[in-house]
Amino acid sequence: MKVDRRSFLSFVIGGAAGTALSPLPWKLMDDSSIWSQMWPWTPVPPDGEVVYEDSTCTLCPGGCGISVRKVDSRAVKIEGQSGHPVNDGSICILGLSGLQMLYGPTRIKSPMKRIGERGEGKWQKISWDEAIAILTEKLTDIRDKGEAHTVAALAGSDSGTVPALIQRFMAAYGSPNFMRSPSYRDVDELTVKALFGADGRTGFDVENADYVLSFGSGFVDGWGSPVRMFKAASLWKEKDIPVVQVEPRLSNDWLDATRDAITDLDEILARAGNAPSAGALVESLRAVVGNAEAQMRASEEVFSQLATLGDESQRLSGAMAEMTRLEERLKTIVETCGILVRRIQPDEEQDTAWRRQSDGE
């Protein structure tokens, strides 16, 4: 039987079309998915009762509500908690990957004891009983010497059950040294303490804002929950809400953006009436921006000098020293912006009168 090119192509195309329309591809796909689930490193929870446990995600300071799906008391999936005031059912990729901390193959599965010199990276697995015994012996020896105050406990956060237990343990042991990792929360809490004389954190009603003015804080990564801020940013865009971002970045774009922000503020003040605290803030920012512009012009002159220096190493060293001094002065200007915001506090009576005038009362 002679098979020409046309017959061969017809056979191949017809066979491919027939295979695609048959159950064979779906059967192969189903078998491959089942086969991949049987890999020895794939966690397969045993059959059992399916329950959901509500909790709070601690992988970032956002505090999103999560709902953990459990099969026979084993966590198998993390989802956003519906109705939660922060994220309302949504969750970021960091929260979704939370199970990797529990089941990741590279996690530390048991206590480790160093058996070499510090820095050699030599460790030995020990049991929990042995680890607790070593820790108890050292802590007892320190307290018997009257040096309990030299012991410190470091935690990633001071919120939640585990940090509270650590604080109680340190208090009972006789040491006040419980510390958490530094974060933006430090500034937030210090500001609340300075302004209101109470411990706490601020909460922003970003969803109902009609004008957003942010000083050096990213909308997504610096305002709490990223999930909530993504939704709020989309809502601002839908409602055409003015959003002004003042960044401490010394570039022409930063200066232009700051000038535009000041112009927008002036227009709002002209429409809404005179708000003394906001007006003072605008004038102060205008002075800071003017100073920054002068420093930028000075730095451009230094760059021009550098371009004509050639191999004159002595003059080059002097010019680089001047650049270093300029950099320090520019950093001072950036810090001044933060100081201005902290120092200018609105007068309560004038602020209330301005708000009533703005609302048309």
Q: Does 81 reside within a domain?
A: yes
The more confident residue out of 154 and 321 is: 154
* pLDDT confidence of residue 352: 54
Are 169 and 245 contained in the same domain? no
Tens-digit pLDDT profile for residues 175-219: 999 988 877 778 888 888 888 888 888 878 888 888 888 877 777
Are 316 and 241 contained in the same domain? yes
Q: Does 137 reside within a domain?
A: no
The more confident residue out of 228 and 33 is: 228
As for how many domains the chain has, the answer is: 4
- With cut-offs at 50, 70 and 90, classify the pLDDT of residue 320: low
The more confident residue out of 166 and 264 is: 166
Q: Does 114 reside within a domain?
A: no
- Distance separating alpha carbons of residues 238 and 24, to the nearest angstrom: 47
pLDDT over 90 (residue 78):
yes
* Paired tokens of 262: 């000041």
Q: Does 189 reside within a domain?
A: no
- With cut-offs at 50, 70 and 90, classify the pLDDT of residue 270: low
Are 85 and 160 contained in the same domain? no
Stretch among 43-57, 210-224, 303-317 having the lowest mean pLDDT: 303-317
Are the C-beta atoms of 60 and 93 separated by less than 8 Å?
A: no
For the whole prediction, is pTM greater than 0.75? no
Stretch among 122-131, 158-167, 306-315 having the lowest mean pLDDT: 306-315
CA distances from 214 to 159, 191, 233, 246 (A): 26, 16, 13, 6
Are 206 and 280 contained in the same domain? yes
Are 173 and 208 contained in the same domain? no
- Distance separating alpha carbons of residues 74 and 326, to the nearest angstrom: 58
Are 219 and 328 contained in the same domain? yes
* pLDDT confidence of residue 341: 47
pLDDT over 80 (residue 296):
no
Q: Does 266 reside within a domain?
A: yes
Q: Does 14 reside within a domain?
A: yes
Average pLDDT over residues 143-172: 89
* pLDDT confidence of residue 132: 93
Are 164 and 307 contained in the same domain? no
Of 69, 84, 100, the last residue of a domain is 100
Are 159 and 259 contained in the same domain? no
* pLDDT confidence of residue 250: 52
Amino acid found at 284: S
* pLDDT confidence of residue 59: 86
Q: Does 338 reside within a domain?
A: yes
Are the C-beta atoms of 68 and 91 separated by less than 8 Å?
A: no
- With cut-offs at 50, 70 and 90, classify the pLDDT of residue 298: low
* Paired tokens of 14: 């017809």
Q: Does 263 reside within a domain?
A: yes
Are 258 and 321 contained in the same domain? yes
Average pLDDT over residues 235-248: 82
The more confident residue out of 63 and 359 is: 63
- With cut-offs at 50, 70 and 90, classify the pLDDT of residue 274: very low
- With cut-offs at 50, 70 and 90, classify the pLDDT of residue 51: very high
Are 228 and 168 contained in the same domain? no
Average pLDDT over residues 93-102: 89
- 284: containing domain: 195-358
* pLDDT confidence of residue 345: 44
Stretch among 121-125, 222-226, 318-322, 341-345 having the lowest mean pLDDT: 341-345
Are 199 and 55 contained in the same domain? no
Coil vs helix vs strand at 247: coil
CA distances from 361 to 22, 204, 349, 355, 356 (A): 73, 24, 15, 9, 5
Average pLDDT over residues 336-348: 49
- E strand or H helix at 155: strand 153-155
Average pLDDT over residues 253-272: 56
Are 160 and 82 contained in the same domain? no
